[in-house]
Amino acid sequence: MKKKKVLIISGIIVIVLAAAVILLINVMPMLLMKPAETGYIGETGILAVKNARNNIFFIETSDGYIMVDAGSDADAVRESVQEFDIGIPDVRHILLTHSDYDHVAALSLFPEAVIYMSEDELQMVNGQTKRNLTGGNSFPEGTDYNSAILLTDGQELNLGGNTVKCVKTPGHTEGSVSFVLNGEYLFTGDSFRVSGNTAKIHPFSMDRNKSEGSIKILGETAEGTKYTFTGHYGYYESDTLEFE
């Protein structure tokens, strides 16, 4: 009987320790995320909107707004656009850095917007590639991923008089992509995390080797740009960031 009790107690300890490790792995990285507060960013004219632990960005153009990523809370996004007098139909283009749930939640709010993502990210939302052991990514109900415009590496778009260049930066997901706006502003999504002033592998990356390569690419891409905008760690003057 005593031996049985010892085994039960040992089992409980193992379960508790395993739960603590899982909690540490999954929760701690989120607690370290520091998105920018909601507001316009200096002389850029770019609006950062804090949405839970991440940022989405709005760029006003000659024919409406470009939106970078779509946040994790659709209701909060709706409130934010109302606060800044951005009409739902005025959001004309949505650039997705990738398709994780916290970057696509508000897509259905903007039915008239054109969605852009990397051609390699399609596999993440059509069921071909799972995000993790528990399942895959998806667009919110009412949004058809088949209507998205699929981008190739280096492809350039002209959106409302602005040039947007696509830079494939896989690793976080298979089709993660970054965008360079007018050669000045770099949007990296979750291609890396920031520790101090150093770009490092994002904790929830699917392929660390690809992430390492993408960080090097982004180091080269950031040269000559003014600001780098991340999904969860705010924004930085590009020349203050180091890319490992």
- pLDDT computed for residue 52 by the predictor: 87
- Domain assignment of residue 94, given as a range: 38-243
Residue 58 belongs to domain with CATH number? 3.60.15.10
For 85, phi then psi, to 5°, come to 55, 40
- pLDDT computed for residue 230 by the predictor: 98
The sheet that has 54-61: what strands, in order across it?
39-41, 46-51, 54-61, 64-68, 91-95, 114-118, 149-151
Domain count, the chain: 1
Q: Note whether residue 85 is domain-resident.
A: yes
Other CB atoms within 10 A of residue 154 CB: 9
Q: Note whether residue 10 is domain-resident.
A: no
Q: Note whether residue 105 is domain-resident.
A: yes
Q: What share of the chain is helix, strand, coil (3-state, %, to 5)?
A: 35, 30, 35
- pLDDT computed for residue 107 by the predictor: 98
pLDDT, block means (10 residues), the chain with 244 residues: 58 47 48 90 95 95 97 95 96 98 97 97 96 92 96 98 98 98 98 95 95 97 97 97 90
List the alpha helices (DSSP H) in the chain: 2-31, 74-83, 122-125, 208-222
Q: Note whether residue 28 is domain-resident.
A: no
Q: Note whether residue 55 is domain-resident.
A: yes
pTM: 0.89
Q: Note whether residue 126 is domain-resident.
A: yes
